[in-house]
Amino acid sequence: MANPAAPVAPSRPVPARLPLREIVPWAVFAAVLGLVILYFVGAEQGAVSLFGGTGIHEFMHDGRHLLGSPCH
């Protein structure tokens, strides 16, 4: 029979392994999404505008000022 007074070594948790194949697609998606957001907030205006009109510029206007980006 086991001695109840004997100290038991605590087991250490084993970190979960994430294969690189599972991380890369999400990292690429996040990078592309970040660049698209950066473009719309920071550059969609004036001479570099990809879309006609001022709809997107006005929609992102307050975001530009909130981030300290000049827009006028």
Any idea where the domains of the chain sit in the sequence? 21-66
Tokens coding 46: 């004036």
User: Can you give the length of the chain in residues?
Assistant: 72
Q: What CA–CA distance (Å, rounded) separates 46 from 17?
A: 47
- pLDDT at position 36 is 87
Phi-psi region of 10 (alpha: psi -120 to 50; beta: other; left: phi over 0): beta
| Contact criterion met (CB below 8 Å) for 53 and 25 | no
- The three-class DSSP label of residue 1 is coil
pLDDT at 72 over 70: no
Whole-prediction pTM = 0.57
